[in-house]
Structure 1
């Protein structure tokens, strides 16, 4: 798409809602409590502030204000008010290419905000614990928050990722014509690095005429050891391992597809 010659400021609002889920099995009630404590420490308000600070760096923004809170008994929230950086590189684009991974950081953002909220929880009987983090990146201007996707996916232990991207409002060109989107996009998937995309099953639901894009991701490979908290599968008998794997697979499928299933025994 050719560069638009705008009349005044780019008034488009681009919003990315990004939900990640980490799922595990803790055999005892005490183990479930320790998992929640572990998650609360690993994703405290301080750690989340650092992740969002890195996101603002990736998209070239400046932090104006930070509000953060750890909650009792669990969970944390961080909200950042941000503004466009003073030096915006001319190379910044909205092209459907992956954003940087944690090792490299470049891009730009206009006045807006970033928020994150965490929701650790446990099933009272089945031993399944699920950690959810909701992140919203809302920008005004010519860069898309999608450029921060790769970094965010790698910043959390993401078994399932659910993303919504929407462009709202309009901006005018110098002839007065309204533009309801200022960059080409066919799928959120095009902003994800190939090495990351290869690890996930992905589904798109897009409404192009409304500039609404939705992508869901779930890890393809399942290794039970990666989902056991303070438990080694060698300490479980065959029936226990199979039952726990069915429970974990059901939990992941229900979150991914957004509906409940009857567990097969």
Structure 2
């Protein structure tokens, strides 16, 4: 942990840019065309521009930012986008905001963000043949200065129905100290995983692909436990035959693994 005595004395404003980008996926089985339409309608309503604006407003509060401007849009036939321009507040706490520890969960939101932007775009879609429907939310939190967007991770993951989460964090640029020495990162980090609550880490299988020399950190997460009833939209597994349950479970797991590994798997 970086204590108060280890803070870097800067020549001027901290010019480091910290960017957190991640995709959140929700997977669902919709047996009929009607269920597909109902699922898309449900997602479109649950994550419309108004709801997304509230989520991003909480993100700004968590990280420590003034919101300068909000643009939001619902799309036809589906999807929504929200973009926020933000500016940094004065940090009054003596606690270093970049310590490698989890940020707050949704029920413990406080306040704080930085000079740049927060965006979210949603992409509901369905497979035309095999009944699989997916919902993807792309979220970007970019800050300039001392504050790290990683503090918002726990809140964001728990704000969506997250079966799969793929995250990238990068620190770009440099800032100078009072001696003129350039600093390319201002906080210790070994893994994005260290910013997640223990309860969150226990729920997911996770892998890291990090490039420490370039200050690039990449983490993938997929839920460990699989309960078919959690993936059936307006249906129950009790209504299905054993053969149908096996086929649907196979399709869902294949879809999740393809998204998790980023490649199409061979048909079995």
The answer to whether TM tops 0.5 is: yes
Tell me if 1:237 matches 2:237. no
1:228 equivalent among 229, 232, 240: 232
1:117 equivalent among 108, 114, 121: 121
Deviation string, structure 1 residues 76-133 (Cα, Å, up to 9, x no partner): 0000001112454232421110000011124632211000000000000100000000
Tell me if 1:90 matches 2:94. yes
Q: After the TM superposition, which parts of structure 1 deviate over 6 Å for at least 4 consecutive aligned residues? A: none
Gaps of 5+ in 2: none
After superposition, the Cα gap between the structure-2 partners of 1:95 and 1:107, relative to the gap in structure 1 and judged at 3 Å, is farther
Tell me if 1:42 matches 2:63. no
CA distance in 1, matches of 2:139, 2:157: 11
Q: Is the 8 A contact 2:192 2:217 kept in 1?
A: yes
Range with greater deviation from structure 2 (105-114 or 186-195): 105-114
3-state SS of the aligned residue for 1:198? helix
Gaps of 5+ in 1: none
Q: TM-score, normalised by structure 2?
A: 0.97
Tell me if 1:170 matches 2:164. no
Offset at residue 262 of structure 1 (A): 2.3
Offset at residue 230 of structure 1 (A): 1.1
Tell me if 1:22 matches 2:30. no
CA distance in 2, matches of 1:247, 1:14: 37
CA distance in 2, matches of 1:11, 1:98: 24
Offset at residue 40 of structure 1 (A): 0.1
Q: TM-score, normalised by structure 1?
A: 0.98
Q: Is the 8 A contact 1:57 1:106 kept in 2?
A: yes
Q: Is the 8 A contact 1:92 1:107 kept in 2?
A: no
